[in-house]
Structure 1
């Protein structure tokens, strides 16, 4: 994990993002226990309440679950939830803008598909 203490992004969100990314890259898989709040706070010199706030975001998104007295664990479908969310963001942020720009450039749908295929070929 790496944290940017000078970033405008709050540390608790960075904690959530780092754990989410670790699930996406399959560093943590379904059923894995993630490092404890104490462990993360000690290793990275972050207030435990800040770490807990980030973890609670992931609990509320049903990506990790608390097991009382044991720790935090990755839920069985966390990876797929993250993939689905990222695909939706990709569509919303990139595909829609790509199509808008193609229209402004008078690129037809067929031409755009060929350009995309060309991109995949590289």
Structure 2
């Protein structure tokens, strides 16, 4: 992954999201040791304090837990927690924005559903 320095999203948030994606994809499994702030700092050429902020976000969301003297580890249900949170936060916001845009464009429910089905079909055909 390459961090986007031009993004409006802070680097530490990008780090947290990358780590979550690594967990979702099975690259980091439950009860495995998480990267340290220093490993992340070396990996992404960032300040260790910035990396620590990304790790701390996951600890605050109970995705990670600390073993004293050993570091941070992935919670047993981390993947499910991440997926549920992303669904409840990210997807809801995307749907809200999507529906707001549809209202601006005066697109009715039927036309909206047809558009969704069309995009789903195109996506399936292109995969």
Q: 1:15, CA displacement in angstroms? A: 2.8
Residue 98 (structure 1) aligns with: 98
Residue 84 (structure 1) aligns with: 84
Flag the 1:77–1:42 CA change in 2: closer, same or farther, 3 A. Answer: same
Flag the 1:49–1:95 CA change in 2: closer, same or farther, 3 A. Answer: closer
Flag the 1:114–1:57 CA change in 2: closer, same or farther, 3 A. Answer: same
> Over residues 45-98 of structure 1, what are the superposed CA-to-partner deviations in whole Å (9 max), with x where a residue is unaligned?
433333223212211111111111222111122212222222231222x21222
Distance across 1 between alignment mates of 2:61 and 2:48: 20
> Over residues 18-64 of structure 1, what are the superposed CA-to-partner deviations in whole Å (9 max), with x where a residue is unaligned?
21221232211222212223333344443333322321221111111
Which structure 1 residue ranges, 4+ long, deviate > 6 Å from structure 2? Answer: none
Flag the 1:13–1:105 CA change in 2: closer, same or farther, 3 A. Answer: closer
Q: How does 1:24-103 map onto structure 2 within 5 Å? A: 24-88=24-88, 89-92=90-93, 94-103=94-103
Q: Which moved more, 1:5-14 or 1:112-121?
A: 5-14
Flag the 1:32–1:103 CA change in 2: closer, same or farther, 3 A. Answer: same
Q: Which moved more, 1:58-67 or 1:26-35?
A: 26-35
Q: 1:9, CA displacement in angstroms? A: 4.8
Q: 1:8, CA displacement in angstroms? A: 6.0
How many residue pairs get aligned? The number is 121
Residue 12 (structure 1) aligns with: 12
